[in-house]
Amino acid sequence: MKRVFFTISWLIISLLAWKLADQYIFCPVYEFKEPHSFSGDSVYNPYANFNSINYYRANFHSHSNFGLGVTNGKGVSKDIWTTYDKLGYAFHSISQYQYIDRYNDSNSSFISAYEHGYNIKKSHQLILGATSVEWKDYIFPQTLNNKQEVLSRLAKDTGNVIILNHPDLRSGYEKQDLKYLHYYDCMEVLNPSANSISHWDTALSAGKKIFLVANDDVHDIFNENQVGRFCTLVSAPNKISREALNSLKNGSGIAMWIPYSQGESFDIKKQKFEESKITLKSLDVQNDSMELVFSDVVKNVEVYGQNGIKVFSASNIQGFKIYFPKWAAYYRTEYITSDGIKYLLNPIIRFKTNLESRKSIAESYVKKVNRNNMAGILFILIWSNFQLIVILKLLKVKFKSIFSRIFNKVASYIS
């Protein structure tokens, strides 16, 4: 019994030691350039060709009862698909942990997805348009290098959309991290477990072209309180998956924060969605000014700029026009309609020449550097010797006997 306990303990300690070394000793090191805010004479307006007719609801973050994890959900994939269909969602991905769920993949609106990450602090990522699963992750609280290495690996698939899930949950992503990290496209700003608006402003203020996503992150599809609380509106005229993914990448998406009452039925939710209106009619940027026009009077509207500072606020208006000076890096807008739904828009941003791809932007700010890994070499030497000692112990081999045999063999060979 003692031998079994010793063997199990040895295996656990060995595994933990190796995982710690892999994370804190062998993880690649990155060199990060200091961030700077958006600037330039040109302005990117993701809503320049806005047409509310082309917008459809989407939820990209949900879990069924697949797998053995304690945080997996209730219900099967069909239940998730059917429920969101009934609520009028055009897109609803099923994001199992480390697994691409192919349920209903023949549908033109199907978007492959999985939630990457199995670490303590929940530094998770939602991967949309994925073709395969990346298994590399770092279990213990992650350093900036750990987080960048994971994102760099995920970004090898240049066609996917990488979303940082619930950054403020368990401080999975510190605000300081978001000033430097690259190789992702969007941030899950709204999630039932975490409101990460300030994290988003931190990334934007550091000149990161990151757009917003809002999801239910549902784990019990039968619980009315978990469904239909947050969603993303995407521009997809033909209701096909590629259009939805492009909408996320180009920033034309809109986040919805839907008020709810405890125990609100699915029928009431459906009615609420059917009666809701985006209300936004147009967003134009001309001659250093930003103008928003609504199709109806909105209860409240606010505009935020660099470092999340509020630059404009008004109530009961149908439109406004404000100054967008050349020194202003970005402006983003939030507004509440008469039905109490809050809408968050992506920012208009300053830029100099063109808005480059995820890869080209990252390569100009982040570089993997070679490290003189003497600590790693030392670890391997100590670890391998420890393993040898333990194995010999398990085999009940006495060290004195080993050395005696070696000495006798050498002596006999010499003589």
Q: What is the pTM of this model?
A: 0.89
Are 243 and 234 in contact, with CB atoms under 8 Å apart? yes
CA angle 337, 343, 349 (to 5 degrees): 130
- Gap between the Cα atoms of 409 and 388, Å rounded: 21
The CA distances from residue 121 to 163, 170, 354, in Å, are: 17, 6, 36
The CA distances from residue 217 to 65, 70, 104, 118, 190, in Å, are: 14, 15, 20, 16, 10
Q: What mean pLDDT do residues 283-304 have?
A: 97
Q: Which pairs from 305-310 meet CB under 8 Å and 24+ separation?
A: 305/329, 305/330, 305/331, 305/332, 306/37, 306/205, 306/330, 307/201, 307/205, 308/197, 308/198, 308/201, 308/202, 308/205
Give the per-residue pLDDT at 407: 47
- Gap between the Cα atoms of 131 and 276, Å rounded: 35
Q: What mean pLDDT do residues 232-242 have?
A: 97
What the block records as the tokens of 132 is 């395969």
Give the per-residue pLDDT at 10: 65
- Gap between the Cα atoms of 342 and 300, Å rounded: 9
> Strand 161-164 relative to strand 186-191: parallel, antiparallel, unpaired?
parallel
356 pLDDT band, cuts 50/70/90, is confident
pLDDT higher than 90, residue 3: no
302-344 confidence digits (pLDDT tens): 999 999 999 999 999 999 999 999 999 999 999 999 999 999 9
Q: What mean pLDDT do residues 56-74 have?
A: 82
pLDDT higher than 50, residue 291: yes
- Gap between the Cα atoms of 140 and 170, Å rounded: 13
Q: What mean pLDDT do residues 231-248 have?
A: 98
Q: What is the percent of the chain where pLDDT is above 70? A: 85
Q: What mean pLDDT do residues 52-60 have?
A: 98
Give the per-residue pLDDT at 261: 87
Q: What mean pLDDT do residues 366-390 have?
A: 64
pLDDT higher than 90, residue 71: no
125-144 confidence digits (pLDDT tens): 999 999 999 999 999 999 99
Phi, psi of 286 (to 5 degrees): -150, 140
DSSP secondary-structure letter at 142? P
- Gap between the Cα atoms of 20 and 239, Å rounded: 45
Give the per-residue pLDDT at 290: 98
